[in-house]
Structure 1
Amino acid sequence: MRRVAVVVAACLAGLSGFAFAEEAAKPAAAAAAPPQLSADECAVWARELGFARALAEHDAAGFAAFLHPQAAFGAGRPQPTRGREAIAAEWAGLIAGKGLRLRWYPQRVTIGGVGDVAWSTGPALYQRLEPGAQPRYLIGQYQSVWHRDGDGVWRILFDDGIAPRPATEAEAMAFERGRREDCPRR
């Protein structure tokens, strides 16, 4: 899960013992047939990639701009983080990129029947940056719900995912190979 504050805090603190969910995320291997997405779904795909890029570029203002003002991160937790400012504050360490590098990309995007709600999911790769850190890589899966606001811009409304598990170097490389910038259009 790309938004698990406890795991992120543990990684940033350099703790060696992690508790991971028994449900392990699947490796980033691409499915046999890529999804065929609509133009609107591809717009969400592009927004998801832009959101990940804002984090990778340590752009706190850009990161916050992707969040709905009343977003809820860790939506499946008993106490999710609520609101753009609170989420941005919780993510400040990840955005700074000092102890942990997080990358993700979409593999699926689906628009709901009303046309202004979308769901996206894909793998998330954490890389601990401390020299000799073990495990070096963790892999999980994220799920986001996007809402197209009145201004026509897609923003994240809900976010959660599968807790990351230790990953091998080979799984980290498979994650990298699975990334695609181009949206698989219909």
Structure 2
Amino acid sequence: MSVGGAALRWTGLALLVLAPTAQAVAPPTPADVARCEVWARELSFAQSVADHDAAAFAAHLHPLAVFGVTRPNPQRGEREILDAWAGLIAGRETRLWWYPEHVHAGGDASIVSSSGPALYQDVASGQYRLGRFSSVWQRGEDGTWRVVFDDGLAPRPVEAAQVEAFHAGRVNACPPA
């Protein structure tokens, strides 16, 4: 019996030693991957405006995109959007920065929404206003994410502390869902 008992203790010990000490991490789902791809793409889109790069901005647009979707006369299509955004991209009168705060994939993960704060600065006065944006992204057949719909809340004047909080709130790495 002691031999059999020792074998059982050894088997129990071996199982204890071989048992994992931490839970296994599940691989990312297609929605997780899409969400993080759009997180990075949204940052790149914002950087195109910060860099005053109209070509990079255009590369983020779906050819049939609609901007200002909640307004009576939205901008439709790449050309109309580029014309309407030319001043913002150039930063002549207003500078604009934004970053994602919430990004969610839906359906088959080929459509993702993003939203977050948007900071505007009047070039002449230096005054800041803070608004919000909301975008819908679609993965193209080439695998590239492009904005299909975009809109936002009208910006309101803010104090210096709110401007600092905006800059401090930017997260570059896609956070876990």
When normalised by structure 2's length, the TM-score is 0.80
Structure 1 position 123, deviation (Å): 0.2
Residue 102 (structure 1) aligned to one of 93, 96, 100? 96
Residues 18-37 of structure 1 correspond to what in structure 2 (within 5 A)? none
Q: Which residue of 2 aligns with 1:128?
A: 122
Q: Which residue of 2 aligns with 1:179?
A: 170
Q: Is the 8 A contact 1:39 1:185 kept in 2?
A: no
Q: Which residue of 2 aligns with 1:53?
A: 47
Paired with 1:64 and 1:47, the residues of 2 have a C-alpha distance of 13
Residue 143 (structure 1) aligned to one of 134, 147, 150? 134
Q: Which residue of 1 aligns with 2:159?
A: 168
Residue 156 (structure 1) aligned to one of 147, 156, 160? 147
Q: Which has the higher contact order (CA 8 A, sep 6+)?
A: 1
Higher helix proportion, which one?
A: 2
Identity %: 52
Q: Is the 8 A contact 1:105 1:122 kept in 2?
A: yes
Q: Which amino acid aligns with 1:166?
A: P
Question: After TM superposition, what 4+ stretches of structure 1 lie above 6 angstroms from structure 2?
Answer: none
For structure 2, list consecutive stretches of 5 or more residues without a partner in the other structure: 1-30
RMSD of aligned alpha carbons? 1.2
Residue 87 (structure 1) aligned to one of 81, 92, 112? 81
Structure 1 position 62, deviation (Å): 0.6
For structure 1, list consecutive stretches of 5 or more residues without a partner in the other structure: 1-36
Q: Secondary structure at the match of 2:43?
A: helix
Instruction: Give aligned pairs, total.
Output: 147
Paired with 1:79 and 1:98, the residues of 2 have a C-alpha distance of 24
Q: Is the 8 A contact 2:94 2:123 kept in 1?
A: yes
